Structure 1
Amino acid sequence: MTHKIRFIMVGGFLGAGKTTTMAQLARHYQNQGLNVGIVTNDQAAGLVDTESLRSQGFHVGEVAGACFCCQFDNLIETVRDLSKADRPDILLAEPVGSCTDLVATVVQPIKQLLGAEFEIAPYTVILKPSHGSKILKNEQKGGFSPKAAYILKKQLEEADAILINRIDELTPEQTEDLTSLVKRDYPEVPILQMSAKLGTGIDQLIELLDQQGDFGRRILDIDYDIYAEGEAELGWLNSSANLSSEEPYALDELLLAIVRNLQVRINEAGFEAAHLKTIGLWEGFFGVANLISNDTEPEVSLPSNCEVKEVDLIVNARVACDPVILEAEAKLAVGEECAKRGITSTFRTSQSFRPGRPEPTHRVSKSV
């Protein structure tokens, strides 16, 4: 009998903490002596998350160009490519943060078409407090439109379990308030509280994911017109550049400054940020800085603690605005912060666009 790959997909809105959670889970399973593969997903190539996970030593494949649901065959091919080197015992899959309806378009097709190769773990969805609290309270002023909020709500609706992340950034009262909101709207769904960054609650998540059973059964009643319009509200940017200087500069300080500069520009223009992320890479080291909403502070999430003369920079930004404007503002932010430090910035690639309408390869209407 062929050994089945344990398929663990962790969803959640942009900036929810999926990549950090993936890294925590991958380390745990590796420490158990298991082979782990990770598949990341984005609307375009050049993903900070992919480079970040690879730089941490994980075996990572990337599905780019559309969501897992629209690139289902590519997802399976990527998993099989990972298997050629060393067949995974555990496959961790991180879908695009603006994607939903994944039970009907990914989980159930895997169960029905490839059940001999994969076993399905509980489908968990991470909730980001900064946007989640506003959306569940219907406080849309200054935030995303109801159509974009619709996506986050649908993500929670199809989950086998909801993970409230970043509890280290909340007071106990704020955590309890958010938990009550989730219980109110999704009373039958188990709720876990965690801090993926600190590792708090990861043991409980692993215990949940190790359960055996018939998971991934919550098929949505979903309006694809609203879903598509909600996704299209977001401007998407993936850019890469080379940054070089004759004098060493502190990489982490520069990455944080770029994110903060872009945050100011976005706030002044009245746009809502879903996620901003930068990574600097060069010959064996890397640093990552990110921002998860207008109302939070940027942070260096993975410090390099290095001074460098040259680095390859990747910028990913997901903002509710015209992607042409987003690209221009991002390039200005990079150029301005580099100029302050005598650094030459040379952009190599840049993709800015709005996501197209989701067109799933498969969509089942009834779970098995």
Structure 2
Amino acid sequence: MITFIPLTGFLGAGKTTTMTATALALQEQGRKVAVITNDQGVELVDTKLVRSKLDSVAEVTGGCFCCKFEDLVEAIVALVSSDDVDTVIAEAVGSCTDLQATVVRPLRQYYGQDMVVAPLTTVVDPLRHLAFARAAERGEPESDLSYLFRQQLTEADVIAVNKLDTISAERAEDLLDSLRKAHPNARVVGYSAGTGEHLGSLLQAWRAPATNGDVRLDIDYDRYAAAEAQLAWMNQELDLTAAGDSFDATTWARTLLEDLSAWALRNDAVIGHAKITVELADGDFAKLSLTESGAEPTLDRAAASAPTGGRAVVNARVACEPDALDSAVTQAVAAADRAAGVTSSATTPVSFKPSYPRPVHRLAPAGA
């Protein structure tokens, strides 16, 4: 019997880090674990990093799990058949919701004889949650993005508050308490996927029965689509060539994200996330990420070598128009080229807005 562990949560919450950290922890317990990444586009930065740490990795691209349900099932079957896995962890697109009805229940109904579906887990960034909460406290009308975030919390069996190391212990406890009061049908756990602190509490929550499976999400799909359409999505590849003997891949990527971060702050553009990998000829790579306008990039992996060239992949999800994101990234690439002594050429410039979500299945709770 296969165990399937579904993760959801807003962009930048740390789903990929959570997925990787828990997969490694489960492997230490003797489980054979595979993971599945998911995105509206193709060429995923996260997949490269995950494959550097785990053997069994698959992608579902070009749409969320609900709209690519058959692709999700095919990915699970392929991983189990080829790698003999017993546990699959899958992270949904960060702008996706209504997963109980469109993914969890269909998997249980149509594949329950071969698969145990673990409680649906919503991963939460505490700073993002506090930002949405402060807007509500000020009496501001609920934005479409905040509406989507709230729906992700409402349908969760487990609310997994990640990155607790980024706030004080007192604020962390207050946040956990407020989430428990607001969502009494969910188990609320706090941890840090980056440091591993309290990660065991999340693993334990997955072993408990689902508590919120009968929830019937009263979701306005027009508003859901509007929330996704607020974000411009860019997946871009660039070929990099050093002007001299070599260049620093980390400096190039850091400069690009710093420039994009400053642009977003000036233009009041919410960054869902922005991630970059720079792949080198010898197989080494650097990865950096950004989850907040005006913030400093996070170094997820540094490249050890000094290359003469490489291939960069940029994934950016920003609340702006696609042409504005195209312009901002073009400007940021130019700044990175100057800082690192690089000549770059874009091979696939792509910015877009997601299409209207049309799930393959949408099942009501049993008995409803």
For normalisation by structure 1, the TM-score amounts to: 0.93
Contact 2:157 2:210 in 1 (8 A): no
1:179 to 2:154 alignment: no
Match of 2:295 in 1: 296
Which consecutive unaligned segments of at least 5 residues does structure 1 have?
none
- Looking at structure 2, the residues matched to 94 and 76 of structure 1 have their Cα atoms a distance apart, in angstroms, of 14
Q: What's the offset of the Cα at 1:84?
A: 3.0
Q: Does the C-alpha gap of structure 1 residues 347 and 295 become closer, same or farther in structure 2, counting only changes over 3 Å?
A: closer
Divergent runs of 4+, >4 A: 212-215
1:94 to 2:91 alignment: yes
* Equivalent of 1:271 in 269, 284, 287: 269
Match of 2:194 in 1: 197
The residue correspondences of 1:313-352 to structure 2 (distance < 5 A) are: 313-352=312-351
Larger mean CA deviation between 208-217 and 253-262 belongs to: 208-217
For normalisation by structure 2, the TM-score amounts to: 0.93
1:12-64: per-residue Cα shift (whole Å, max 9, x none)? Answer: 10000000011111111222332221111100111111121112233211111
Which AA in structure 1 matches 2:345? T
Contact 1:241 1:349 in 2 (8 A): yes
Q: Does the C-alpha gap of structure 1 residues 184 and 32 become closer, same or farther in structure 2, counting only changes over 3 Å?
A: closer
Which consecutive unaligned segments of at least 5 residues does structure 2 have?
none
The residue correspondences of 1:249-288 to structure 2 (distance < 5 A) are: 249-282=247-280, 283-288=282-287
- Looking at structure 2, the residues matched to 140 and 327 of structure 1 have their Cα atoms a distance apart, in angstroms, of 34
Contact 1:219 1:367 in 2 (8 A): no
The residue correspondences of 1:1-368 to structure 2 (distance < 5 A) are: 4-139=1-136, 146-212=143-209, 216-245=213-242, 246-282=244-280, 283-294=282-293, 296-367=295-366
1:65-104: per-residue Cα shift (whole Å, max 9, x none)? Answer: 1110000011111112222312320101010000000010
- Looking at structure 2, the residues matched to 273 and 180 of structure 1 have their Cα atoms a distance apart, in angstroms, of 27
Larger mean CA deviation between 8-17 and 289-298 belongs to: 289-298
Q: What's the offset of the Cα at 1:213?
A: 5.8
- Looking at structure 2, the residues matched to 144 and 15 of structure 1 have their Cα atoms a distance apart, in angstroms, of 23
1:248-276: per-residue Cα shift (whole Å, max 9, x none)? Answer: 22222322221111111121222111111
Larger mean CA deviation between 338-347 and 148-157 belongs to: 338-347
Contact 1:271 1:319 in 2 (8 A): yes
Identical-residue share of aligned pairs (%): 35
Contact 1:239 1:349 in 2 (8 A): yes
Which AA in structure 1 matches 2:318? V
- Looking at structure 2, the residues matched to 106 and 130 of structure 1 have their Cα atoms a distance apart, in angstroms, of 28
Q: How large is the RMSD of aligned CA atoms in angstroms?
A: 2.0
For the residue of structure 2 that corresponds to 1:248, the secondary structure is coil
- Looking at structure 2, the residues matched to 216 and 303 of structure 1 have their Cα atoms a distance apart, in angstroms, of 41
Q: Count how many residue pairs are aligned between Structure 1 and Structure 2.
A: 364
Q: Does the C-alpha gap of structure 1 residues 217 and 286 become closer, same or farther in structure 2, counting only changes over 3 Å?
A: farther
Structure that is richer in strand per residue:
1
Q: What's the offset of the Cα at 1:214?
A: 7.2
